[in-house]
């Protein structure tokens, strides 16, 4: 049977979140949170594969103790096992440190055939963690998968969105994919499964549980990149409505972009000095 691992993440439910002024990272504790929407599509893809071809689905997440909520939600959708990587030393991780921590957790799971991640997260939008996990584990991977046809001992058959075309391809197992919103429609949560799984355990692993000999890439101290500054955009309610031909509008827009006041604000560095 195929063992599928789905990486899920708890993200802020609202855009109105606070930032840590020192680290530049989101302050997640106490904030209303939900499962990352893209991860719902990945979880649905895994459960559908299990229903059609057999196997088991394990979900894994990295976060503070309240991240257990998204594992409980995954149980209600059909996941069989939940792993939470939680340790203060994981806090402040950039995409590389996050990929490293998750890859170490997956490595400890052992026999894994397929890893599914959402294309990106709504709080970071980098789309780097899925491919990062694959590279650290030395697995073949494809991003932006929009259709999963089947999985068996021979491999995984998918369609990948290439922007201007769709590519049909197959990958040998084990492998990793990241999925788009087009891959499926996530099912509604099951109250019956909620009651059936309410006492299911959530395994919590800390750094000592997954740490291996070698470099330390955990958390803020192990992150090669750090956020210099993060802030919500200032709201602006002023607007103008322009009408005219495409030529008139493009010329007017060009003139507006090259306006001296706009350039002095540092917003149009492309202006030619000649």
DSSP 29-85: TTS-EEE-HHHHHHHHHHHHHHHHH--EEEEEEESSGGGHHHHHHHHHHT-SEEEEE
What are the structural domains of the chain? 3-210 (3.40.50.620), 240-274 (no CATH)
Q: Tokens at residue 97, please?
A: 């440190």
What count of other Cβ atoms lies within 10 Å of the Cβ of residue 141? 19
Strands, E, within 134-273: which ranges? 141-152, 155-161, 166-171, 175-179, 203-205
Rounded to an integer, the average pLDDT of 21-31 is 60
pLDDT at 15 over 70: no
Length in residues, the chain: 274
pLDDT at 274: 44
| Percentage above 90 pLDDT, the chain | 67
Tokens 């210099």 found at: 228
Return the beta strands (E) in the chain as ranges: 3-7, 10-12, 33-35, 56-62, 81-85, 114-118, 141-152, 155-161, 166-171, 175-179, 203-205
The confidence band for 78, taking pLDDT boundaries of 50, 70 and 90, is: very high
Decide: 132 and 217 in contact? Cβ < 8 Å: no
How far lies 16's CA from each of 12, 31, 53, 228, 273, in Å?
8, 9, 42, 20, 40
Q: What local confidence, expressed as pLDDT, does residue 240 receive?
A: 84
pLDDT in tens, 112-138: 999 999 999 998 889 999 999 999 999
Q: What is the mean pLDDT of residues 37-56?
A: 96
| 45 confidence band (pLDDT: 50, 70, 90) | very high
């Amino acid at each position: 049977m195929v063992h599928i691992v789905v990486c899920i993440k708890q993200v802020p439910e609202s855009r109105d979140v606070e930032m840590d002024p020192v680290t530049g990272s989101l302050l997640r504790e106490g904030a209303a949170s939900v499962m990352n929407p893209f991860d719902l599509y990945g979880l649905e893809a895994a459960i559908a594969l299990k229903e059609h071809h057999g196997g088991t689905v394990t979900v894994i997440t990295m976060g503070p103790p309240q991240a257990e909520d998204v594992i409980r939600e995954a149980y209600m959708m059909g996941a069989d096992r939940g792993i939470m990587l939680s340790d203060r030393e994981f806090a402040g991780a950039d995409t590389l440190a996050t990929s490293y921590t998750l890859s170490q957790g997956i490595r400890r799971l052992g026999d894994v055939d397929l890893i599914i991640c959402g294309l990106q997260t709504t709080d970071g939008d980098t789309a780097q963690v899925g491919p990062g996990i694959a590279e650290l584990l030395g697995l073949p991977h494809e991003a932006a998968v929009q259709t999963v046809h089947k999985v068996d001992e021979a491999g995984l058959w998918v369609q990948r969105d290439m922007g201007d075309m769709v590519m049909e391809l197959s990958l040998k197992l084990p492998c990793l994919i990241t999925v788009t919103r087009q891959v499926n429609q996530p099912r509604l949560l099951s109250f019956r499964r909620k009651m059936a799984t309410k006492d299911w355990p959530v395994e919590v692993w800390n750094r000592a549980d997954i740490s291996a000999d070698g470099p330390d890439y955990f958390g803020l101290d192990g992150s090669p990149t750090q956020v210099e500054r993060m802030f919500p955009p200032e709201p602006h309610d002023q607007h103008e409505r322009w009408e005219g031909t495409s030529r008139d509008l493009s010329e007017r827009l060009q003139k507006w972009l090259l306006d001296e006041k706009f350039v002095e604000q540092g917003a149009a560095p492309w202006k030619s000095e000649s």
